[in-house]
């Protein structure tokens, strides 16, 4: 068993070996490490697992172990075998994730959530135009609904979010990033902005469409999303795992127990009977059929621990308004 002090000493010896002249091997606890010069800035590290003894043995596999950068004395893309010696845990995949985060932040800072910072003012590419038409027809209203349900009622505000994803590392690009991560990220951000003008403007135009649909939803008290949000808000502060629900459906009033989690999120159109406690589900299926569902408009009351968390009467809708809302629910899906 290697003590923490022995591990720390081993890391010191490993760092000294890396900084020293080439040509020797490093014998770790159960691994021998060698290095091969790539260029003046980098050496590639390779290792051989030792079942017994020390030093490199012929006829045994040698594994890639990492990249040593002479400029900063750190090991990058450190593989499992040498992490105890190098103290570095960042893999090439982690470096790529760091690059993605850095570039996205740079692009978003450059655009500043202001379309005036773009080079163009209109969409000319046929593909982007088709995408905008599709978004307006199929997605804008749904995005407005989601924003309304999960945010405070203080209006919709578009926020530009960059979707940059780096290409897979090549040998040259990985080494270039290690040498100058900030400079590499800045170059990638500049290239992204230059090559994605229409895509970025499309994001702003989609935000305009969502804002229009959001205003329509807020201005329509009969929109079914209002009832869904009231149910979600009523459940948000409750720790209940199971609640008692009373519904009025097909002129039948039925009270049952159900999992509370489903009422904390958007049901879209109706609630699944699988969340009803099994002993009540059989009665639900007998009353409303095996494929029966119930929607927010059917819920009269939700209770937990003798407290009423939600009650339909609190909606303040007249009977005619409730009928209008029910029709709105049917037309929305």
pLDDT in tens, 256-305: 999 999 999 999 889 988 899 999 999 999 999 988 899 999 999 999 99
pLDDT value for 330: 41
* Apex 192 CA angle, 187 and 195, nearest 5: 125
Q: Is the pTM of this model over 0.75?
A: yes
Token pair, residue 303, equals 């209770």
* Apex 332 CA angle, 329 and 333, nearest 5: 100
Statement: residue 329 has pLDDT above 50? no
pLDDT digits (tens, 9 = 90+) for 140-199: 999 999 999 999 888 999 999 999 999 999 999 999 999 999 999 999 999 999 999 999
pLDDT value for 58: 80
| 107, 186 Cβ separation under 8 angstroms | no
Statement: residue 210 has pLDDT above 60? yes
In the three-class reduction of DSSP (H, G, I as helix; E, B as strand; rest coil), residue 204 is classed as helix
- Rounded CA-CA distance 75/91 in Å is 10
């Amino acid at each position: 068993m290697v003590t923490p002090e022995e591990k720390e000493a081993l890391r010191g010896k490993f760092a000294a070996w890396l900084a020293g002249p080439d040509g020797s091997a490093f014998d770790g606890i159960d691994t021998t490490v060698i290095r091969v010069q790539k260029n003046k800035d980098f050496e590639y590290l390779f290792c051989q697992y030792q079942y017994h003894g020390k030093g490199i043995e012929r006829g045994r596999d040698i594994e890639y172990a990492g990249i040593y950068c002479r400029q900063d004395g750190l090991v990058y893309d450190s593989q499992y075998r040498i992490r105890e010696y190098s103290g570095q845990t960042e893999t090439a995949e982690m470096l790529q994730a760091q690059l993605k985060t850095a570039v996205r932040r740079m692009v978003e800072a450059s655009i500043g959530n202001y379309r005036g910072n773009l080079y163009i003012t209109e969409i000319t590419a046929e593909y982007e135009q088709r995408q905008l038409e599709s978004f307006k027809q199929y997605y804008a209203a749904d995005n407005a609904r989601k924003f309304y349900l999960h945010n405070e009622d203080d209006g919709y505000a578009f926020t530009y979010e960059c979707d940059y994803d780096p290409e897979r590392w090549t040998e040259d690009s990985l080494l270039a990033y290690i040498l100058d991560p900030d400079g590499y990220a800045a170059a990638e951000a500049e290239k992204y902005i230059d090559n994605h003008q229409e895509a970025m403007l499309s994001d702003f135009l989609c935000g305009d469409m969502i804002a229009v649909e959001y205003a329509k939803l807020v201005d329509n008290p009969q929109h079914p999303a209002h009832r869904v949000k009231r149910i979600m808000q009523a459940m948000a502060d409750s720790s209940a795992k199971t609640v008692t629900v009373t519904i009025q459906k097909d002129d039948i009033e039925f009270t049952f127990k159900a999992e509370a989690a489903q009422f904390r999120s958007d049901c879209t159109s109706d609630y699944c009977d699988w969340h009803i406690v099994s002993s009540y589900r059989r009665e639900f299926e007998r009353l409303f059929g095996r494929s029966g569902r119930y929607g927010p408009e059917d819920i009269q009351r939700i209770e937990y621990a003798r407290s009423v968390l939600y009650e339909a009467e609190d909606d303040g809708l007249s009977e005619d308004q409730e009928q209008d809302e029910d029709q709105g629910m049917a037309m929305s899906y």
